[in-house]
Structure 1
Amino acid sequence: MEVPAPLLNGSITYLVLTLLTCFAGIGMGVTGKMSRENSSYVGRFSPNNPLIFTLLAFMTGLCLWMFWACCWLHQWHILVVPTYGAE
């Protein structure tokens, strides 16, 4: 049984976008764009912490992909088919 092409294409798209945001978070942390000096809230769980940003970007991508995949799969084979009355 093979994976349907639209599901595979959408999954690859979500994977690429999620990896781009994760690498953007790592890149901003390395270049200093996200540093404690630039933050208005300084703390261990600062929103400008690159590791927190990367983790949240990954979790967001995963949750959005799961939501999209469930919506797509629910519409793939419809279980309830409308019946039309004789007119």
Structure 2
Amino acid sequence: MAPTVLVTGSVVFAILVGSLLLLTGCARGAGMLNKDDSAIASIVVSISVFCMWLLWSCSVLHQWHPLIQPMYEKME
């Protein structure tokens, strides 16, 4: 089972990509972007948010169950 922080963060990134794609669509509807620029912006937004999510999820999962733990010496 995935840690809850991973699920919560993934939902946050999904909301982020959804809002940015909605913003791109609104910019196209308002006439600020033409069809080609809107398509490129949608692809760039999707790929960049996926890359940010992938880096973030790797960082979270590497800290979930660390393989290397500190070894303490016995004090005499």
Task: Give the TM-score taking structure 1 as reference length.
Answer: 0.78
Contact 1:22 1:54 in 2 (8 A): yes
Task: Report what 1:13 is aligned to.
Answer: 12
Provide structure 2 residue ranges, at least 5 long, that are not aligned to the other structure.
none
The correspondence of residues 1-87 of structure 1 with structure 2, limited to 5 A, is 2-35=1-34, 49-87=37-75
- Could you say what secondary structure the match of 1:33 adopts? coil
RMSD: 1.6
Residue 80 of structure 1 aligns with an amino acid whose one-letter code is I
Deviation at 1:59, TM superposition (A): 0.6
Provide structure 1 residue ranges, at least 5 long, that are not aligned to the other structure.
36-43
- Could you say what secondary structure the match of 1:82 adopts? coil
Moved over 6 A (4+): none
- Could you say what secondary structure the match of 2:67 adopts? coil
Residue 55 of structure 2 aligns with an amino acid whose one-letter code is F
Residue 31 of structure 2 aligns with an amino acid whose one-letter code is G
- Determine which structure has the larger helix proportion and give its number: 2
Q: How many residues align?
A: 75
Deviation at 1:33, TM superposition (A): 1.8
Deviation at 1:3, TM superposition (A): 2.1
Deviation at 1:13, TM superposition (A): 0.2
